[in-house]
């Protein structure tokens, strides 16, 4: 096995701060969507009293409430999915950068 100092030193820097923020936001949004899907059966099982109305408007606002709960849960750590997605995306981006760097040599 031959170790080349250039190949072993070929590492790309982690994404810039702006890119990391975009990745973190995307990961958080992903987790919020996941949590919203998990909450959907809970919300569908709640019966609304006749006095409260019902109808299309209630369905619409119930979905907004569900999304709001999901986003709040994700922002507070949720299930930890966002952290895993973020680290995976950063690793993939770094690996893609390293691969493109090696192709140019």
10 Å Cβ neighbour count for 40?
A: 13
Rounded to whole angstroms, the Cα distance separating 13 from 1 reads 27
Residue 87: its pLDDT value, please?
A: 92
Positions of the chain with pLDDT lower than 70, given as ranges? 1-15, 50-53, 97-105
pLDDT digits (tens, 9 = 90+) for 78-100: 899 999 999 999 888 888 766 66
Q: Where are the alpha helices (DSSP H) in the chain?
A: 5-8, 17-44, 55-75, 81-103
Q: CA 21, CA 38: separation in Å to the nearest integer? A: 26
Contact indicator for 34, 81 with CB cutoff of 8 Å: yes
CB 28 within 8 A of CB 82: yes
């Amino acid at each position: 096995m031959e170790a080349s100092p250039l190949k072993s030193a070929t590492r790309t820097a982690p994404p810039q701060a702006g890119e990391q923020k975009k990745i973190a936001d995307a990961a958080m949004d992903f987790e919020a969507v996941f949590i919203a899907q998990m909450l959907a059966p809970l919300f569908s099982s709640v019966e609304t009293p006749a006095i409260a109305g019902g109808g299309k408007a209630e369905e619409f606002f119930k979905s907004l409430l569900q999304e709001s709960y999901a986003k709040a849960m994700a922002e507070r750590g949720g299930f930890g999915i966002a952290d895993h997605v973020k680290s995976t995306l950063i690793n993939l981006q770094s690996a893609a950068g390293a691969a493109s760097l090696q192709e140019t040599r």
